[in-house]
């Protein structure tokens, strides 16, 4: 259930940053409960510095990516619309038969909610 097609772009983006922030919690837990032999070698400040660097690189990379991509696609990274919703809307909102028929090329699981409408459409043509 982690794929953006199932949960949408907002989940993908929040998950991207949540994993970065989780590193700080992991470092804190490691410093308290990790093996003593390793805790003495790796100070907590080094772990925090490492995770701060990875967070910085992630923010800069994601910000650069958002700046450089085509502006019409930016909303897909904070939208709650899933790929399943997109597939269904593509069929339901299109009047052109050449576009509507493309639903048959999608996995059937992506449009099971509208299977009756697809069946009626295909039988009418």
pTM of the predicted protein model: 0.67
- Report helix, strand or coil for 88: helix
- pLDDT, position 52: 96
CB 20 within 8 A of CB 54: yes
- pLDDT, position 5: 66
DSSP letter string, 32-79:
HHS-HHHHTTS-HHHHHHHHHHHHHHHHHHHHHHHHHS-HHHHGGGT-
Please write the tens of the pLDDT for every residue from 31-64.
888 888 888 888 889 999 999 999 999 999 999 9
Domain extent listing, the chain: 4-77, 83-124
- Its sign, for the CA torsion 45, 48, 50, 56, is negative
**Above 90 in pLDDT, residue 120?**
no
CB 20 within 8 A of CB 58: yes
């Amino acid at each position: 259930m982690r794929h953006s097609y199932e949960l949408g772009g907002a989940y993908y983006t929040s998950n991207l940053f949540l994993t970065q922030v989780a590193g700080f919690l992991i470092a804190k837990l490691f410093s308290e409960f990790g093996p003593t032999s390793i805790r003495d070698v790796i100070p907590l400040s080094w772990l925090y510095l490492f995770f701060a660097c990875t967070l910085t690189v992630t923010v800069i990379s994601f910000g650069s990516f958002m700046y450089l991509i085509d502006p019409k696609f930016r909303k897909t990274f904070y939208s709650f619309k899933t790929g399943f919703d997109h597939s269904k809307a593509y069929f339901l909102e299109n009047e052109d038969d050449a576009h509507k028929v493309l639903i048959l090329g999608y996995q059937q699981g992506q449009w099971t909610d509208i299977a009756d409408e697809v069946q009626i459409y295909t039988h009418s043509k």
